[in-house]
Amino acid sequence: MPQTRSNTSSPARPWWLLPPGRVHPYWFIAAGGVLVAIDYLTGPNPQAPFLYFFPVALAAWYSGRTPALLLSVVMPLMHFLFIRKLASTLGGVDVLAIQTVLRAVLIGLLGLWLARLAEHEQAMESRVLELEGLLPICSFCKKIRNQDGEWEVLEVFISTHSQAEFSHALCPSCTDRQDRLLFDDKVG
């Protein structure tokens, strides 16, 4: 019989944390393309360049570092290409280039930070799920039934499902019992 898992012991997921899962990066690249198109259609001075962060953040969380870094470079670069002809009215090409580089670096750093946070959250989630739920255990020999329906020694099961290691010793009551058994064997 397969092992059942219970969610009652899991802590509630914080409301501010994005839902778990993986999404193909093309969705975020498409969202970045839409923002770049809106940027192009609205004119040379974007009113909210921080909006570039949202597709980068979502790509970092759901698709990893590479799509996030790609978007954090491509979107500011596309903005620069759109407005470079207007450089003289906007402070010069040097000013626009510096703004573009700073924007790409800032958005890229935020994307990397969020990708690392997502990796950490996924690792923690998988670690929590390793030994969660009801474990069918024999009340006599203390073996645990695994997902394949086979009975395993407790130490083996826990070692394969966690990073725990075991060392064996005798507790005081078992030491007394062992001493009594040895004494009885010598006397009897």
Amino acid at 117: L
Q: Which residues pair with 145 in a beta bridge?
A: 151
Residues of the chain with pLDDT under 70: 1-21, 43-50, 86-90, 126-133, 188
Compute how many other C-beta atoms are within 10 angstroms of the C-beta atom of residue 165.
8
Residue with tokens 């019992």: 177
Using an 8 Å Cβ cutoff, are 151 and 138 in contact?
yes
pTM reported for the whole predicted model: 0.52
Q: Which residues pair with 144 in a beta bridge?
A: 137, 152
- Separation between Cα atoms, residue 109 and residue 65, nearest integer Å: 10
Predicted confidence at residue 15, as pLDDT, reads 66
- In sequence order, the 6+-apart residues with CB closer than 8 A to the CB of 83 are 44, 90, 96
148: tokens are 């394949």
Predicted confidence at residue 151, as pLDDT, reads 93
Amino acid at 68: A
Predicted confidence at residue 77, as pLDDT, reads 83
Annotate 139-182 with DSSP letters as a single string.
TTT--EE-TTS-EE-HHHHHHHHSS--------HHHHHHHHHHH
Q: For 133, left (φ over 0), alpha (ψ -120 to 50), or beta? A: left
Predicted confidence at residue 123, as pLDDT, reads 80
